[in-house]
Amino acid sequence: MTPPERRLSVLDRLLPVWIAAAMIVGLVAGRMVPGLGAGLDTVKVDGISLPIALGLLVMMYPVLAKVRYDRLDTVTRDRRLLIPSLVLNWVAGPALMFALAWIFLPDLPAYRTGLIIVGLARCIAMVIIWNDLACGDREAAAVLVALNSVFQVVAFALLGWFYLSVLPGWLGLSQTTLDVSAWGIARSVVIFLGIPLVAGYLTRRLGEKARGREWYETRFLPKIGPAALWGLLFTIVILFALQGDAISSKPWDVARIALPLLVYFAVMWAGSFAVGRLVGLGYERTATLAFTAAGNNFELAIAVAIATFGVTSGQALAGVVGPLIEVPVLVGLVYVSLALRRRITPLVVAASPEATHVSAT
């Protein structure tokens, strides 16, 4: 019999339904309520709407509170995980998005540039949720996200210059420039990763010190766990509400932007999963490798696009469409990952058939 703390809650079992409902609610609200989008976007945190920023922080905190920080050294010593992750994130990902942007949007330079910016912004936030839903390695996810953050500060502007100016020049294509500072990127990392990471670390450290690990993991974590998914649903509602008018008024443009994104997420996830299995990683770290490589930092991409090209620009719209496509696609890939998990580790899954949720594990 499955232990009580391993049972799926109603929120977990019907997650695709809730996500679809959140998208619909956001779209309808953004389209039907006059001034809602402008009101939600009035106050910003590092270029991101304050409600979205709060949703992201609430979403990430419970998952980071679950990380066993005393086990991080087992991840940092695993070169089979770290080296492929760096190559997939900082070589394969940007190159693939560059190619797809030019293949699918050769006649739409603004949207093309926006997609390339999305490809340069490696995920440091929502990927933690996808990884946990897929029963990936939490400690590995924390390390890879932190590693991506460091590289993001150092490499984002350089890669932007290369993929938007240098490489197109070599290939005889049109060029553009990207004005972004390392400090601006570092500020985004501190806000959207640093705050929930420090909060999660201190919660675990102080909680275990006061009551012990067993109480912390069996009593405390199940209570705060559901906040991660509530934060995710809230963020989705706000995202779609902010862009409801743009999405409904430019459906063909959204479809043109969505197609290369669909190909990108599918290829990056499947390729990364295959690489993980090829180098001999177990299911948990293979899933973590796949999701951290497939996800993108839409907070940074949107902020950079708005700061450089303007809030109404095509580049900004492409940045916004990114997470709108990423959310349903990666939710679907969570279920693909769990199906593969049953094939890779059948005995483990047989012993714990319901261990596929975020809120109580």
Lowest-confidence range among 168-172, 259-263, 324-328?
324-328
pLDDT, position 34: 72
Question: What residue spans of 33-137 are helical by DSSP H?
Answer: 36-40, 50-66, 72-76, 79-87, 93-104, 109-120, 127-133
Cβ of 129: how many Cβ atoms within 10 Å? 27
What is the spatial distance between Cα 251 and Cα 245, in angstroms, rounded to a whole number?
10
What is the maximum span of the chain, computed from C-alpha positions, in angstroms? Answer: 64
What is the spatial distance between Cα 248 and Cα 40, in angstroms, rounded to a whole number?
18
For residue range 15-55, what is the model confidence (pLDDT) as tens digits? 778 888 888 888 888 777 777 767 777 777 766 778 888 88
Q: At a CB cut-off of 8 Å and minimum separation 6, what does 58 contact?
A: 227, 228, 230, 231, 234
More confident residue, 340 or 360: 340
Q: At a CB cut-off of 8 Å and minimum separation 6, what does 258 contact?
A: 321, 325
DSSP tag of 33: S
Query: What is the percent of the chain with per-residue pLDDT over 90, rounded to a whole number?
Result: 40
- pLDDT band for position 242 (cuts 50, 70, 90): confident
DSSP tag of 217: I
Cβ of 144: how many Cβ atoms within 10 Å? 29
**Phi, psi at residue 146, to the nearest 5°?**
-65, -40
Average pLDDT over residues 264-282: 96
pLDDT, position 251: 83
Average pLDDT over residues 206-230: 91
Q: At a CB cut-off of 8 Å and minimum separation 6, what does 293 contact?
A: 85, 88, 89, 92, 93, 268, 269, 271, 272
Quote the pTM value: 0.81
Our separate counts of H helices and E strands in the chain read 21, 2
